Amino acid sequence: MGLFLGIIGIGIGFVLGACLGFYFFVYSDPEIEALKDTVVRPISELQLTSLQDLKSELPLWLKNPDYDRVDWLNNFVFNMWPYLDKAICAAVRRIAEPIVADYIGRGHKPIESITFETLSLGTLPPTFQGMKVYDTNENQLVVESAIKWAGNPNIVIAVKIWSLRIKIQLVDLQVFAIPRMTFKPLVPVFPCFSNVTVSLMEKPHVDFGLKIQGGDVMSIPGLYRLAQDIIKKEVAKLYLWPQTLEIPILDSSLCIVKKPVGVLHVKVVEAAKLMKMDILGLSDPYVKLKLSGEMLPSKKTTIKKKTLNPVWNETFKLLVKDPQAQTLQVNVYDWDKVGSHDRLGMQMVPLKLLTPNKTMNLTLDLLKNTNIVDPHKKQQRGQIMMEMTYAPFKEDNDVLSGPLTPVNKDNDMGPASRTPGGAGVLLVTIQGAEDVEGEHHNNPYAMVIFRGEKKKTKIIKRTRDPKWNEEFQFMLEEPPIHDRIHVKIMSRRTRMSFFYSTESLGHVDINLGDVVNNGRINNKFHLIDSRNGLVHVELRWRET
């Protein structure tokens, strides 16, 4: 009985106490202290303990002066986020579908399908904490940024296992990562790069909620920490530098400029029974050789006077970029002193018929053209005998490339890394120049001089930082290990003038021994006789 009365007393006391507390809270009028303004202090005045608490929240541009503030980018992303959300989700679906199909096709039989039932990144955009752009000398743009995202995405994935459909929902996603994005190669087709390569520079921080069939599985003791560790480990294994994720943007056939992969050696031996084009019943024949898809001038033999059975025994070398698709175009002409030269006949040889490093002897029947319905095609135009050998290049060794480094007067780039061999081609690409300035005009062009042969780029008007990106080729019988190449930057007045029509803006001599030994160098060289001028040159030795 006493216990029962005690419980009743406690209940009555609790009710009365609550009523009295509510009365004094509402109707009492105590003296309330005036609200004080928040004290704002510079970071430099904070105590060490306070600074340590804020360290994880500080933006990267504040901790590292190499990173720039990008408030403008955050404002842009904030306003564009509703449209970026749809575009990114569509791209994720397009990229993920073949990956998932390949995963299921590898023998993961219990999983029948994985599909996105709902895919939305929510209304909260990511925030860029800072951004850094690297100078690499290569045909690419490298950007590194710190990204924080505390979003409210709605991502529902439907997984079908043994005819059982399971819904997995990802919610409350938080990500902090430092990705390095490489846009390469840069091409003259919008959006001006064909691929994006992404690498994570640090292990990412990932936090999220996971629901399966509507139940919060992260509330299970121990599962939350286990899932976080597994996700971080797997993401780091796949994309932590030097691992990369490559995202294609443009069709490679539309934008990528193909590099030479070998040399075609052609020996024009002789021809027989050519057509008579002169009044006296003879011709003055010569041969022109050209590979399909090339803009370079054709190779020409000498002219053999007054003969229908010329003998040349002349050898030529042509650079090959696609041995499976290119063809050698052979045209035989009759030389005339006045007017155009008459074509005696032609023929085409697909390079895919050749076996690498094996000489093929060919006897070709000359045709009028490649039109199969031409009634004059069957007319006898003679034959031409040739020898052809396709010699592919050895593997590249792209060792020396990167940002600007100090270069001494002899341009000594380092020790030799391989032993030079036989014949090959020297590829010289003049990328551009910086801070070149003339006294009277600034219309720069570059001139490349090697073994007495001169080649030059186009003129770019009124600039101190021209960009040419023009390649020149020098076919050699032996490695130029003891040679130098002379690069000169000139300026030419574009209007008629007899005074100061041309002007030198600087020059440099580059040793080719390191190019031969290393296969390639890509650097910026200080120009002699120039105040601050630099020239960006890529040199490549391709050996057969």
CB 445 within 8 A of CB 457: yes
Q: What is the rounded CA–CA span in Å between residue 458 and residue 440?
A: 19
Task: Verify that 130 and 270 share a domain, yes or no.
Answer: no
273 lies in the same domain as 356: yes
Peptide bond into 356 cis (omega under 30): no
Q: Give the domain-ending residue among 248, 275, 310.
A: 248
Would you state the pLDDT for residue 412?
A: 42
Q: Which residue has the tokens 């340590």?
A: 52
User: What is the number of other CB atoms lying within 10 angstroms of the CB of residue 99?
Assistant: 10
The reported pLDDT for the residue numbered 402 is 43
pTM comes to 0.64
> Please, what sign has the CA dihedral across residues 31, 37, 38, 43?
negative
Assign 3-class secondary structure to 134-169. ECCCCCCEEEEEEEEEECCCEEEEEEEECCEEEEEE
Q: Are residues 242 and 268 in the same domain?
A: no
Separation between Cα atoms, residue 42 and residue 33, nearest integer Å: 27
Residues 327, 213 within the same domain: no
Identify whether residues 384 and 465 lie together within a single domain: no
Output the CA torsion sign for 80, 85, 88, 91. negative
> What CATH number is attached to the domain comprising 292?
2.60.40.150
For β-strands 285-291 and 215-216, DSSP reports them as unpaired
pLDDT digits (tens, 9 = 90+) for 200-217: 888 888 777 778 777 776
**Same domain for 208 and 282:** no
Is position 5 within any domain? no
Q: Phi and psi for 346 in degrees, rounded to 5?
A: -150, 165
437 within a domain of the structure (yes/no): yes
538 within domain boundaries: yes
Q: Do 241 and 276 fall into the same domain? A: no
Among residues 219, 248, 277, the one where a domain terminates is 248
User: Quick count: other Cβ atoms within 10 Å of Cβ 318?
Assistant: 23
pLDDT value of position 310: 92
Q: Is residue 18 part of a domain?
A: no
**Within this chain, do residues 243 and 290 fall inside the same structural domain, yes or no?**
no
CB 472 within 8 A of CB 445: no
Give the residue numbers spanning the domain of 333.
262-370+377-392
**Whole-number Å distance between alpha carbons of 76 and 515:** 45
pLDDT at residue number 59: 63
Distance CA 19, CA 60 (A): 54
| Residue 83 within a domain | yes
**Residue 362, in any domain of the structure:** yes
Phi-psi region of 331 (alpha: psi -120 to 50; beta: other; left: phi over 0): beta
Q: Are 494 and 458 in contact (CB under 8 A)?
A: no
Rounded CA-CA distance 477/29 in Å is 103
Which pLDDT tens digit goes with each residue over 67-102? 788 888 889 989 999 898 888 888 888 877 777 777
Residues 446 and 355 in one domain: no
Query: In the chain, which residues have pLDDT < 50?
Result: 32-33, 397-418
Contact, 516 vs 398, CB < 8 A?
A: no
DSSP string, 370-423: S-TT-TTTTS---EEEEEEEEEEPPPP---EESS-----TT-------S---S-
My answer on whether 273 and 126 are in the same domain is no
Which residue is associated with the tokens 């005074």? 499
Percent above pLDDT 90 for the chain: 24
Helix and strand numbers, DSSP H then E, in the chain: 7, 27
The verdict on residue 341 lying in a domain is yes
Residues 76 and 204 in one domain: yes
Residue whose entry in the numeric block shows the structure tokens 């932590």: 240
Query: Does 399 reside within a domain?
Result: no
How many Cα neighbours within 13 Å face the side chain of 129?
Answer: 18
The token pair that represents 477 in the structure block: 């019988």
Q: Show Cβ contacts of residue 35 under 8 Å, excluding neighbours closer than 6 positions.
A: none
Total structural domains within the chain: 3
Q: How is residue 499 annotated by DSSP?
A: S
* 213 and 83 assigned to the same domain: yes
Fill in the DSSP letter of residue 213.
Answer: T
Cα 440 to Cα 502: distance, rounded to the nearest angstrom = 9
